[in-house]
Copies of this chain bind each other. A is one copy, B any other.
């Protein structure tokens, strides 16, 4: 496991999150990428997911989220920007040729801007609409926008293993986005189910998730 207090790379994560958020926080994507290429990193664990962050943290991450990535004089926020930076250093995550590289980056941005937002709308309605009588009607109306994207993605993937010739940061983000899709929406597309399984069965993913959950277990509030 490449968590190493003396590593040159530092990423931020939360000390602890409530069970519903376990495995959903985006430092997982960075841990996964670094595990894929065997690069060590150190963790800087910050306070709760819903706490206001201090000004010095907001200087690094304007939205108060995790992860922040630091390496020498490079300081990045947004998991997509961090993955691009990591990918540029290792062709196991991002191929070198302009055409293949551009295709992989197109897929990563598609995951972030064409697929994840449609699913995030459903999450926002789940949170903002909790216990409201319109919640189910609103989610029913918004769900087809997400379903259309999943159908288009399923068709594009077809029977291939990955979105490009080999596993890239495009797959890494897309698979993590798909992990959060409610079961009936995902199981409508068996090739997407298999794709997510293929990704999450990679040893690097398993190690990354284990490392993220380890910090939550260590900092879990004591039962009263």
Contact = CB atoms under 8 A, between A and B. Distances in A.
A125 B152 contact: no
B63 A75 contact: no
A58 B152 CA distance: 9
Contact of A63 (B103, B137, B144, B152): B152
18 contacts: A62-B110, A62-B152, A62-B156, A64-B152, A73-B98, A74-B98, A74-B99, A76-B103, A78-B106, A78-B110, A79-B109, A84-B105, A120-B121, A121-B121, A128-B138, A128-B141, A128-B144, A134-B134
B116 A142 contact: no
Q: How many copies does the complex hold?
A: 2
Contacts of A141: 125, 128-129, 132
A176 B133 CA distance: 35
A114 B75 contact: no
Interface in A60-84: 62-65, 72-81, 84
A202 interface: no
Contacts of A62: 110, 152-153, 155-156
Contacts of A63: 110, 114, 149, 152
Interface residues of A, number: 52
A119 to B, nearest CB: 9
Contacts of A124: 118, 121, 142, 145
Contacts of A117: 113, 116-117, 120-121
A73 B103 CA distance: 11
A114 B137 CA distance: 26
Contact of A155 (B58, B72, B112, B156): B58
Contacts of A5: none
A160 to B, nearest CB: 12
The 7 closest A-B pairs by CB, nearest first: A134-B134, A117-B117, A62-B156, A128-B141, A78-B109, A80-B109, A81-B106
